Structure 1
Amino acid sequence: MRAVVFAGRLAEIRASRLHATGRLASAVAASQSHVTLSAQTHIDWIARTGHTERIPIPNARALAAGFHFGWAIGPEGAASWGSDTRGQTAGGGAVLRDASQVASGLDHALLLSGDQVYTCGRAYMLTVNTDGQLGRGSRAYERELAPVDIPARVVRVRAGGDTSLAIADDSVWVWGNAEYGQALGPAADRIPAPMRGELAAEAGRVVDAAVGGSFVLLLNDHGEVYAAGYGALGTGHVKEDVPRRITGLPPIADISAGLDYAAALTTDGCVYAWGINRHGRLGDGVEGKEHVYRPALVEYDGRVSSVACGSDALIALAGVDE
């Protein structure tokens, strides 16, 4: 089991460095509204106010957190809960028994079953006209899961804000909001169907990604992180038109992105964070809102196994003895 630690603000507690809460969990996800923790018998769904709901899904092996909704991969397959006002939970309950991965943006979700990507949530509404994050090239208001056409074997899905991303064996596909260049190509208002991202040869083979509100992070098979878009890039700049490597990081095993900050977990269990430091969520001992342009080591006396960027708090799982 692992103890949850955090920096920032959560449940009326303020901390400017990583601070243990005493909760135990095996997986974590975070969004603008909630922190989601997987325990052996259930899921804890914790609002920013501290109110906790127990979701009766045991042993969830994957979690995704959206704005007032969540998804998990449990024993019965993919399951969802919370708000369905925009179809983001596909009606709630369990679906796709063979789903292996799930990802959530603000108001939409992606599921991976085999190598087929499915999406649900808000697409183009005549009254809202959002960004095509469902990848179907349609102006329909979609409430049910439906497949997305990607001409490659997809192995991983990621989402953030109103942008969606799929990683294939030798390519990365992006759709949805692209106005800041986070879709790995020329800036565009929106991309309504999956488009292959433009990657430099030195970026190598991409194995994971994290999507922020206006930027994207890519992790390659050498443990290097590349960033593109606008905002919390970690490159020393606030705008990168093409993916640029974040220098100075040791080998990285995992990455996470909030709307305007990000974190990286090293292969030896240390955490680096950068971006807007609201509520001290970068764990550097400072509670100001200044922009940290380069990754900074988060001081914590323990080995971290997973990180997630929530609205006001950086959540981590750290190994403990039972």
Structure 2
Amino acid sequence: MPVSIQLYVILNHKQAKLFGPVTTALKLCCLKVSAFLVWPATLLRQARSCFLSMQYSCFPPRVPFNAGLLSSVRLKAQRKQASFVGMASFLLLSLGLIGPVSGQIVAAGGTYTAVIRADSTLWSWGNLTYDPGWESPPDRKTGPAPQGHTVRWQSVAVGEHHALAVRRDGTLWAWGSNARGQVCLGGTARVSSPVQIKSASTWRQVAGGYSHSLAIRTDGTLWGWGYNRAVQTRDVKAANQARSAAGSKTASLPAPMPLGPPGASWRSVAAGERYTLALRSDGTLWAWGQIEDRSVETWADPQQAASIPWRGPIQIGTSTSWQSIAVGYDYALALQQDGTLWAWGNNEHGQLGRGDQSYAPNPVQISPGVRWQCLAAGRSHTLAVRRDGTLWAWGHNDEGQLGDGTTSTRLSPVQIGTDSAWRSVAAGRFHSVAVKRDGTVWTWGNNDAGQLGNSAESTRSPQLVSALR
């Protein structure tokens, strides 16, 4: 399932310092003037680390500059900032301070993978609508392909059978299955290529569940459409009117509807099978819908649940220091600002990483004492990157989706390889994707629909997606 993307800069392993993209890009551009001097090796290494960490990544060690991206006031400035970063990239490449960077943002879901490269082009592979229970496997020979060579994208998310993306101009696009209106096109026909959702150009971040879609605008408002038992719009009357106007007799929303209480500002959102998890700008964590056939009201204080007039967002705990979130098929994960990892929901295959297989109705801390940077949740397996850049996985592993070279289920985190250069991760139904600090993209697990980007049947350890080099 998709992860939210944030921007940060790391100057060294001991200190994390936040810069605005323009300031950082200008600092990097200054290297052109001074590169003809004899620079100490340490300074050059710091400049390289500064740039590579400036790429889009999962979750930074400190309170982030949210790269979901930016408020509406900064939307135009963002486009100018992109040109600065692009210029800095060119200069550093020319000076030999960095190598080519292929992948920036990665998303996975079902049997599909998508990557936004350093040049902001969107590449994808696999099959969005393939269902192994009903269809024959498609041709695996089709590798990564661009969604238009000239279009520039800023964020992408993949649900179980559909995908969503936001272009640099702030417009929202979707494609894949539309059985529940999750592509927002009208009817239920599959959509093979991106189509624009409405005409607004103020979208910032997206998330896709099994059959519902979510998006946050630059003003912090949260919107949802598709299967309404997971979306849970607050405006029931408007939802009924929208369904009536579209001729829909199902429990689906055919168009984006506002979610959450009026006036709430949201930082990021993630989606599972029939539920939604979201972070407000104040660092509080909220959820709604159902997880493993249990209402999210079971996660909240009974008095709070009883006071909710509609089945909308309820707060999970009382903490105001939640940093980032990820959602699997029927379980959830969240990071605190101090790097601690918490998990709850279904644990049949050990996907919570707590060492057992018991259901957890409330967040429980995973691996106390360890500080995490990035995480992703698949159908029933979990991937995470520690702050030291090492990659870890746990949960279901029947297709080799953990990447440890086996098909053994892991109830606790196990390290994948020995590399400490991992930056971000994403997880699909039974496959996994990760990006290293040099921007290279790696995949492993099941490959029934070509979701690994190669022609192999499956792999049990990370393999480079050579087509993106």
- The TM-score normalised by the length of structure 2 is 0.57
What amino acid is the match of 1:179? E
Q: Structure 1 vs Structure 2: percent identity of aligned residues?
A: 22
Q: Is the 8 A contact 1:69 1:82 kept in 2?
A: yes
Kept after mapping to 2: 8 A contact 1:135/1:175: no
Decide whether the 8 Å contact of 2:287 with 2:296 is kept in 1: no
Residue aligning to 1:34: 162
1:215 aligns with 2:381: yes
Tell me the alpha carbon deviations over residues 45-83 of structure 1, each in whole angstroms, 9 at most, x when there is no partner: 212432535144534332211122222221231322322
Is 2:123 aligned against 1:5? yes
Contact 1:217 1:225 in 2 (8 A): yes
1: CA distance, partners of 2:420 / 2:146? 25
CA distance 1:97–1:197, change in 2 (3 Å): same
Deviation (angstroms), 1:253? 1.7
Q: Is this contact kept in 1: 2:331–2:345, CA < 8 A?
A: yes
Q: Of Structure 1 and Structure 2, which has the larger fraction of its residues in strand?
A: 1
* Residue in structure 1 matched with residue 173 of structure 2 by the alignment: 44
115, 123, 134: which one pairs with 2:283? Answer: 115
Q: Which of the two has higher C-alpha Rg?
A: 2
CA apart distance, 1:184: 1.7
Task: Work out the number of aligned pairs and report it.
Answer: 292
The runs of 5 or more residues in structure 1 that have no matched partner are 303-322
**Pairwise CA RMSD:** 2.9
CA 1:57 to 1:220, structure 2 compared with 1: closer, same or farther past 3 Å? farther
The letter of the residue matching 2:371 is R
Describe how 1:281-300 pairs up with structure 2 within 5 A.
281-286=451-456, 290-300=457-467
Q: Specify which of 1, 18, 21 is matched with residue 144 of structure 2.
A: 18
SS state of the match for residue 300, structure 1? helix
Question: Partner letter of residue 286 of structure 2?
Answer: Y
- CA distance in 2 between counterparts of 1:98 and 1:131 reads 24
2:41 alignment counterpart: none
Quote the residue 2:78 is aligned against: none
Higher helix residue share:
2
SS at match of 2:228: coil
Between the aligned partners of 1:212 and 1:123, the Cα distance in structure 2 is 14
2:432 is the alignment partner of 1:254: no
1:243 to 394, 410, 413: 413
1:93 maps to what in 2?
A: 258
**What's the counterpart of residue 77 of structure 1?**
220
The one-letter amino acid paired with 1:118 is W
Which residue in the other structure is 2:89 paired with?
Answer: none
Contact 1:134/1:164 (<8 A) preserved: no
Q: CA shift at 1:150, angstroms?
A: 5.5
